[in-house]
Amino acid sequence: MVDKISPSVEAALADVRDGATVLVGGFGGSGVPEELIDALIAQGAKDLTIVNNNAGNGEVGIAALFKAGRIRKIICSYPRQIDSHHFQEAYRAGKVELEIVPQGTLSERMRAAGAGIGAFYTPTAYGTDLAKGKETRVIDGKGQVLEYPLHGDVALVKASAATAGAIWSTGRAPATTGRRWRARRKSRSRRCTTSCHSARSIRR
């Protein structure tokens, strides 16, 4: 078995390039891999596309990436909340592009990428502004929207434990967001980086 353990968070993120698409686990302020995000900021990659359920909270995690000016585009389900001020400032200034994707569709687009699915139809968002510009059709009398896979160059996940073969447990982190990245990890050409409380995935 190939040992996929990195000696440090810095080594794990060393080859993340400018313009990369980064899938980030977590739901709101829960289960966000803050240590990995801090290391990504220190690494210096910019013009990133970030995929997450939210657009950051407070001053840490994805919010810190916005504050550092590293995000070019955010793909999420729920961008605005009471403490998402760094996202709001960047968006109002025209510094960041926003793509809103319904939560279930967001998960399915990532799963489709990992499964090698070319595209899929979903009734979600049919007839709304989110479906504008997208291919639609009626199947069995129900309106459907064509959605395409959402590929990531790297996924950042917070876990309680991980093995050398990159199998991990999310512990108390939100199960749904953890499963998104686990399904996405099956794609051969991408990488998932896991930050563990127990430090089993990153040798100190």
Mean pLDDT over all residues of the chain?
A: 83
Domain count, the chain: 1
Nearest Cα to Cα of residue 49 among 182, 149, 152, 194: 152
Of the listed ranges 58-62, 104-108, 116-120, 130-134, the least confidently predicted one is 58-62
44 within a domain of the structure (yes/no): yes
Contact (Cβ atoms closer than 8 angstroms) between residue 19 and residue 152: no
Count H helices and E strands in the chain, helices first: 6, 11
94 within a domain of the structure (yes/no): yes
Does residue 106 surpass a pLDDT of 90? yes
For position 150, what pLDDT does the model report?
Answer: 97
By residue range, what is the domain housing residue 177? 9-119+149-196
For position 6, what pLDDT does the model report?
Answer: 82
CATH assignment at residue 15: 3.40.1080.10
153 within a domain of the structure (yes/no): yes
Nearest Cα to Cα of residue 100 among 127, 120, 73: 73
Whether the CA torsion 163, 169, 172, 175 is positive or negative: it is positive
22 within a domain of the structure (yes/no): yes
Confidence of residue 98 (pLDDT cuts 50, 70, 90): very high
142 within a domain of the structure (yes/no): no
For position 42, what pLDDT does the model report?
Answer: 96
182 within a domain of the structure (yes/no): yes
Tokens of 34: 């803050």
pLDDT tens track for 126-162: 999 999 999 999 999 999 999 999 999 999 988 766 6
31 within a domain of the structure (yes/no): yes
Of the listed ranges 80-89, 139-148, 154-163, 183-192, the least confidently predicted one is 183-192
113 within a domain of the structure (yes/no): yes
What is the layout of strands, in order, in the sheet containing 120-122? 120-122, 142-147, 136-139
For position 136, what pLDDT does the model report?
Answer: 98
For position 82, what pLDDT does the model report?
Answer: 83
| More confidently predicted of 7 and 186 | 7
Please name every residue paired with 97 in a beta bridge, in sequence order, or none if there are none.
73
Q: Which stretch of DSSP H or E encloses residue 106?
A: helix 103-115
Contact (Cβ atoms closer than 8 angstroms) between residue 55 and residue 89: no
154-175 b/e (C-beta count within 10 Å ≥ 16 → b): bbbbbbebbeeebebbbeebbe
Does pTM top 0.95 for this prediction? Answer: no
